């Protein structure tokens, strides 16, 4: 019985040393941050919220809007974008291309927009997505 207790005691002593080392490293890191002039406090809640809103808006734009979705928020964003632009738009990632392509619907069929128009459309899409996510997020 004493042999097993020796191993357990040895394991607990090593664990205790690891905890002490971790605390020491945490204190050193804290002192280093303070010496660099970084604030002690965390990120304010409003900044955290804006970061989260941007992250979700980016997700909505990239994953849902550009790949298609039946999500009601996504449909609202698409409708608002088409109302702002005044045309029906289609977003495609062709298999052979790396860039997103934006097409407008015309009587002759879909026509790709110019790079300048694409930049304006993507900027509008970003602001609409950001506003919609901000309005719907708790």
pTM above 0.85, yes or no: no
Strands of 101-106's sheet in order across:
89-92, 101-106, 109-112
Question: Are both 130 and 88 inside the same structural domain?
Answer: yes
pLDDT the model gives residue 44 = 80
**Mean pLDDT of all residues in 46-71:** 79
* Terminal C-alpha separation, the chain: 58
Contact 121, 81 (CB under 8 A): yes
Residue 28 domain boundaries: 1-41
**Mean pLDDT of all residues in 89-110:** 83
Question: Are both 55 and 3 inside the same structural domain?
Answer: no
Q: Rounded CA gap, 138 and 132, in Å?
A: 12
Burial class (CB in 10 A: 0-12, 13-18, 19+), 6: exposed
Distances (CA, A) of 89 to 60, 80, 113, 133: 17, 11, 9, 21
Q: Half-sphere exposure of 28 toward its Cβ, with a 13 Å CA cutoff?
A: 6
Q: How many residues does the chain have?
A: 138
- Structurally, how many domains does the chain consist of? 2
Question: Are both 76 and 126 inside the same structural domain?
Answer: yes
pLDDT the model gives residue 58 = 85
Question: Are both 66 and 30 inside the same structural domain?
Answer: no
Mean pLDDT, all residues of the chain: 82
Question: Are both 23 and 54 inside the same structural domain?
Answer: no
pLDDT the model gives residue 119 = 92
Q: Tens of pLDDT along 101-118?
A: 889 998 898 999 999 999
- Which has the higher per-residue pLDDT, 124 or 94? 124
Contact 78, 61 (CB under 8 A): no
């Amino acid at each position: 019985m004493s042999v097993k207790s020796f191993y357990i005691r040895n394991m607990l002593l090593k664990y205790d040393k690891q905890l002490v080392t971790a605390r020491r490293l945490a204190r050193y890191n804290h002192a280093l941050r303070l010496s660099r002039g970084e604030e002690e406090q965390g990120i304010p809640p409003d900044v955290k919220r804006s970061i989260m809103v941007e992250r979700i808006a980016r997700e909505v734009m990239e994953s849902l809007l550009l790949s298609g979705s039946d999500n009601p928020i996504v449909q609202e964003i698409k409708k608002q974008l088409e109302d702002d632009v005044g045309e029906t738009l289609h977003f495609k990632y062709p298999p052979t291309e790396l860039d997103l392509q934006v097409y407008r619907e015309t009587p002759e069929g879909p026509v790709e927009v110019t790079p300048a128009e694409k930049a304006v459309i993507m900027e509008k899409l970003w602001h609409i997505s950001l506003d919609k996510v901000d309005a719907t997020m708790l």
